[in-house]
């Protein structure tokens, strides 16, 4: 049996593609499923207030501020 193992570059490209399909552009949460972005443009919580199960998404990273010496 022949199996094709993707390279790290292919895995990274697939992860970026899936992240784009499963990340809400408004709240930046990454869900464990694809969002209906073509139809409503966001997750259900952002669209109509339907609460999302906290186990169904990964919270976005907080914005980090890099302080530099003056």
- E strands along the chain, which residues? 30-31, 57-58
In a domain? residue 64: no
Question: Residue 12: its pLDDT value, please?
Answer: 94
Residue 54 belongs to a domain = yes
The number of folded domains in the chain is 1
> For residue 13, what is the DSSP state?
H
In a domain, 28, yes or no: yes
Residue 27 in domain: yes
Task: Determine, yes or no, domain membership for 37.
Answer: yes
Per-residue pLDDT at 67:
65
> What is the residue range of 44's domain?
8-58
CA angle 27–46–30, rounded 5-degree value: 40
On whether residue 14 sits in a domain, the answer given is yes
Mean pLDDT of the region 49-64:
87
User: Are the beta carbons of 34 and 17 closer than 8 angstroms?
Assistant: no
Nearest to 44 by CA among 15, 63, 34, 62: 34
Judge whether 66 lies within some domain. Answer: no
> Is residue 24 domain-resident?
yes
The pTM of this model reads: 0.74
């Amino acid at each position: 049996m022949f199996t094709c193992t993707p390279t790290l570059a292919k895995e990274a490209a697939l992860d970026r593609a899936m992240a784009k399909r499963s990340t809400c552009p408004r709240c930046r949460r990454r869900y464990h499923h694809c969002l209906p972005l073509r139809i409503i443009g966001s997750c259900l919580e952002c669209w109509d207030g339907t609460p999302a199960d906290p186990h169904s998404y990964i919270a976005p990273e907080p914005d980090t501020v890099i302080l530099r010496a003056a």
